[in-house]
Amino acid sequence: MSAAEKATAAIAYEISRMPFSITPTPDNTFVRGMIELAEMSELVDRVAANRYRAALDTKYQARLNHLKGVAA
């Protein structure tokens, strides 16, 4: 498995865990850092990085909304 494949697999895995996150904001920051590092290291291109960011934003916002609903 190449470094790029490992990076994309790790990012996809972390994004898939977001709906179950107990602490979504720190987890969001961590995954964003992973995406940035992979992009700067040229393991993923800008288009793929933007797709990961969009997927992360969607799942992060859904998790926040869920937690806010539970707390209300």
CA distance 1 to 71: 43
Residue 72: pLDDT above 90?
A: no
Domain ranges of the chain: 3-67
Averaged confidence pLDDT in the chain: 95
pLDDT in tens, 20-71: 999 999 999 999 999 999 999 999 999 999 999 999 999 999 999 999 998 7
The tokens for 29 are: 């920051």
Predicted pLDDT at 62: 96
For 62, list phi and psi in degrees, rounded to 5.
-65, -40
- DSSP-derived letter for residue 41 is T
Find out whether 22 and 67 touch, Cβ atoms under 8 Å: no
Please tell me the predicted confidence (pLDDT) of residue 59: 97
Calpha distance 36→31 (Å, rounded): 9
